[in-house]
Structure 1
Amino acid sequence: MSTPLPSTRLTGIDALRGLAAISVVFYHYTTRYQQKFGFAEPPGIEFPFGHLGVNLFFVISGFVIFMTLERIRRPEDFMVSRFSRLFPTFWAAVLLTACVEALSQALGSGLSLPHIAANLLMVHEFLGFPSVDGVYWTLQVELFFYLWMFTLWLIGGLQRPYPWLGLWLLLSLAQGGVAGWSLPIPYRLAQLWLLPQIPFFVLGMAMYLQHSRGAAERFGPFALGIAALAVIYISQGSELLAWAISFLVLLQLALRINARAERLARPVIWLGAVSYPLYLLHQNIGYTVIHFSQQWGANALIAGLLALLVALLLAGGVHRLVELPAMDAIRRAYKAKPLALPLNRWHWLGLALGLAIGLLALSFALPRLFA
């Protein structure tokens, strides 16, 4: 009998994901489109801080992944859980977006088949390949975060996580340049170790520890404070502190309304459910819709609304036809015939560290081969 895969479905958290996704969509369809391509006539609407929805995604991921790892019993459980959640939907989004770009040529991407194939690995940018869609860089960040959290789980670091998270934050602060000095960490290592993003993940993890362990978790407020300070130094400005605090408030509200999920409006619940495919599909396909809509005489506002409608329809379709069926099929297959790999935790630890070293080596070698 296999270990049941952990269920991490929190309706309030899903709704918060939906809020993060739609804020990024609004940013791309207003402020970012104007910056990259320019509207024939500006829509009169801007959403300049919508890109911070990405950072909110990282906070939510810190919360959810810590919760997932505390509930699993075997390494294979985590691998199957994350693979089924991320990859089938991502592959569908990559192929669909590549097809739209190839047919329309509106954005002039000119991606080759090897580049598209490299995107399916989800770590393509780290290996030197361009993205089919610009939003995919965050999936690489998520994957590296899973790798390091999985490593921390393997060595038992989740029992007393704060020394490890503190070390991670110190590296992040040092790389970000605290008090006028900075640690000269190579760019690739900073990417692999997630030094620019780790304060946001730590905010989410500390919130989970407070939520799950309560008053017994004495160092939670301290960790939150350090993470918030790290956000300031990484961003080189004070504005992001306000956003970090806002993220914490939003996450706390999401946890409180989770117990009253039935009170959430159905559209909000649905938006949370389709947030992952919506995020993956909205940018370049939406830009294409805006481009052609304006060519056909629509003003910027109508073009943006049409792009939003197309993105929501595609997200709903991929959620229903790919995301849910694939996740269910993979997890059912694993439950019926679980993986029985003859590996203990130390073997898995060696594989995880070997993967990190291998990716680092490939990131230097592959660009030279394809230059």
Structure 2
Amino acid sequence: MPEIHSFAAPRAANRKISWDLVRAGCVTLVLIYHATYMSVVVHPELGARGFTFPYQVGASLLLVISAYFACVTIGRGPLGRYWWGRVARLLPPFLAAVVVIYAALRLLSPAGWFRPEWRDLVGNLLMLWNWKPADFPFVDGSHWTIPLQLMAFTVAALLYRSRWGHGARLRVLLWLALLVPLAQWPWRISGPPEWYRTAADGLGFHRWHLFVAGVAIRLWCTKRISTAHFLALEVVCLAAHALHSAVWTPGGLVVDWGSTIGVGIGFAVVSLVAAGPDWDRVVPPWLRRPVQWFAGISYGVFLMHQAIGYLVLHWFSALGAGTVVQTAAMLVAGVLLGWALTRLVERPAYRFLMAGYDSLSAFRARRRAAPAPDGTEALSSVGAGSEHR
């Protein structure tokens, strides 16, 4: 099930350069999509860009990669530590990013732009946008993935402890996670009641297929499903993605085929990277360190680049810079802010929270091993493996 710190690179000694390239490529697609397309959708006054990339591909593929790596790592060590590790990696930089972006929008937003209030800050820290978007607007639109990922982590841990996280039951569950949202899709686009929209969007029905795609890739690579079964799952995942982007217009149903095709290509690339050899023989040595560095800070870049980047576009436009310089400035600002968030918050917070977890686990283990009041030694092995399944 989905691993949510997909943007963070694993240790250099254990990772493939191909995974770093894919992660870096996906985050780059996110940056270009927001800088060249969504910026003008949100702020038309910025003016048309010389180059536009209007396809929402990168964030979707990062969720697929997350799901794949969650399957790889979820059985390593105690399950509770796995879950806490994902939360420790994901949540502190997100909370810090929300506060920084809120302050930047309050201080630097030009007249007519969204200037969040205190209530908006609280709503974003609590991640209420998917549930009530009309009441709690995003301070940064990129953050839509975070609550879905946290829920996915929790579901993954609960499933792994149960029979439904293994074998034939897991395969049935994957198909249900695909077919149930597809079955309710006609109702979703027909103007359902607010309670339904709240539940469907809050639980991310229309994104489940991305998690299923990543899990299916892992099952196929480890020969736990056949190639035919794998292809069937991926095709239905792609159909679900096409419907996710579809809207009714006076001329009929319109599908974002560009994004859908891009995600389909991404499915194939992730599958090839997962099943095939590393790309270390074709990646020149001089390129490896920059790619690894960018992959390592890419979660921070993802969190910080969009809303503040739009401010960068505005102020560079006010200085008379051309669209190419504006876009370059937004990309550079996103990378620098992401690097700072990684260095100052993500990594130290993760180390602190994991050290706290390990210290508490060691303390509990010592208490279990301590002699009982009657002089006998407690059975320290009781429950020792309870977190693994």
**Shorter-chain TM-score: what band?**
0.7 to 0.9
Aligned CA distance change for structure 1 residues 22 and 335 (closer, same or farther; 3 Å)? same
Q: State the one-letter code of the partner of 2:43.
A: F
1:260 offset after TM fit, Å?
A: 3.1
1:36 offset after TM fit, Å?
A: 2.4
Looking at structure 1, the residues matched to 191 and 114 of structure 2 have their Cα atoms a distance apart, in angstroms, of 36
1:90 offset after TM fit, Å?
A: 0.7
Q: Which moved more, 1:250-259 or 1:27-36?
A: 250-259
Q: Confirm or deny: 8 A CA contact 2:57 2:263 kept in the other structure.
A: no
Match of 1:163 among 172, 186, 190: 172
Give the corresponding residue for 1:252.
Answer: 271
Give the corresponding residue for 1:361.
Answer: none
Aligned CA distance change for structure 1 residues 57 and 291 (closer, same or farther; 3 Å)? same
TM-score normalised over the length of structure 2: 0.76
Q: After TM superposition, list the pairs within 5 Å mapping 1:105-124 onto structure 2.
A: 105-106=109-110, 108-124=113-129
Q: Which moved more, 1:146-155 or 1:272-281?
A: 146-155
Q: State the one-letter code of the partner of 2:176.
A: L
Q: Please give the per-residue CA displacement for 1:235-282, whole angstroms capped at 9, x wherever unaligned.
A: 444825533431122213433464739855322222211111111111
- Cα RMSD over matched residues? 3.3
Give the corresponding residue for 1:4.
Answer: none
Looking at structure 1, the residues matched to 225 and 116 of structure 2 have their Cα atoms a distance apart, in angstroms, of 53
Q: Which moved more, 1:153-162 or 1:225-234?
A: 225-234
Q: State the one-letter code of the partner of 2:73.
A: T
Looking at structure 1, the residues matched to 192 and 44 of structure 2 have their Cα atoms a distance apart, in angstroms, of 39
Looking at structure 2, the residues matched to 306 and 8 of structure 1 have their Cα atoms a distance apart, in angstroms, of 25
Q: Confirm or deny: 8 A CA contact 2:130 2:202 kept in the other structure.
A: no
Aligned length: 336
Q: After TM superposition, list the pairs within 5 Å mapping 1:31-110 onto structure 2.
A: 31-38=37-44, 42-49=48-55, 51-74=56-79, 76-106=80-110, 108-110=113-115
Aligned CA distance change for structure 1 residues 99 and 235 (closer, same or farther; 3 Å)? closer
Give the corresponding residue for 2:235.
Answer: 225
Q: Confirm or deny: 8 A CA contact 1:27 1:47 kept in the other structure.
A: yes
Aligned CA distance change for structure 1 residues 274 and 219 (closer, same or farther; 3 Å)? same
Q: State the one-letter code of the partner of 1:335.
A: D
Aligned CA distance change for structure 1 residues 65 and 313 (closer, same or farther; 3 Å)? same
Give the corresponding residue for 1:316.
Answer: 339
Give the corresponding residue for 1:352.
Answer: none
Match of 1:204 among 214, 218, 225: 214
Correspondence 1:290 to 2:310: no
Looking at structure 2, the residues matched to 244 and 301 of structure 1 have their Cα atoms a distance apart, in angstroms, of 26
Q: Confirm or deny: 8 A CA contact 2:178 2:237 kept in the other structure.
A: yes
Looking at structure 2, the residues matched to 167 and 111 of structure 1 have their Cα atoms a distance apart, in angstroms, of 39
Runs (4+) of structure 1 exceeding 4 A deviation are: 180-185, 214-218, 261-264, 339-342
Q: Confirm or deny: 8 A CA contact 1:232 1:238 kept in the other structure.
A: yes
Looking at structure 1, the residues matched to 19 and 203 of structure 2 have their Cα atoms a distance apart, in angstroms, of 26
Q: State the one-letter code of the partner of 2:28.
A: I
Unaligned ranges ≥5, structure 1: 1-6, 349-371
Q: Which moved more, 1:122-131 or 1:28-37?
A: 122-131
Q: Confirm or deny: 8 A CA contact 1:278 1:314 kept in the other structure.
A: yes
Q: Confirm or deny: 8 A CA contact 1:29 1:286 kept in the other structure.
A: yes
Match of 1:16 among 9, 19, 22: 22
TM-score normalised over the length of structure 1: 0.79
Q: State the one-letter code of the partner of 2:131.
A: F
- Residue 51 of structure 2 aligns to a residue whose secondary structure is coil
Give the corresponding residue for 1:353.
Answer: none
Q: Please give the per-residue CA displacement for 1:137-180, whole angstroms capped at 9, x wherever unaligned.
A: 121222222233233223232212110111111111112239x9
Give the corresponding residue for 2:244.
Answer: 234
Aligned CA distance change for structure 1 residues 289 and 209 (closer, same or farther; 3 Å)? same
Correspondence 1:134 to 2:141: yes
Q: Which moved more, 1:27-36 or 1:166-175?
A: 27-36
Q: Confirm or deny: 8 A CA contact 2:216 2:230 kept in the other structure.
A: yes
1:44 offset after TM fit, Å?
A: 1.2
Give the corresponding residue for 1:360.
Answer: none
Looking at structure 1, the residues matched to 115 and 9 of structure 2 have their Cα atoms a distance apart, in angstroms, of 39
Aligned CA distance change for structure 1 residues 60 and 287 (closer, same or farther; 3 Å)? same
Looking at structure 2, the residues matched to 204 and 242 of structure 1 have their Cα atoms a distance apart, in angstroms, of 17
Looking at structure 2, the residues matched to 250 and 326 of structure 1 have their Cα atoms a distance apart, in angstroms, of 33
- Residue 113 of structure 2 aligns to a residue whose secondary structure is coil
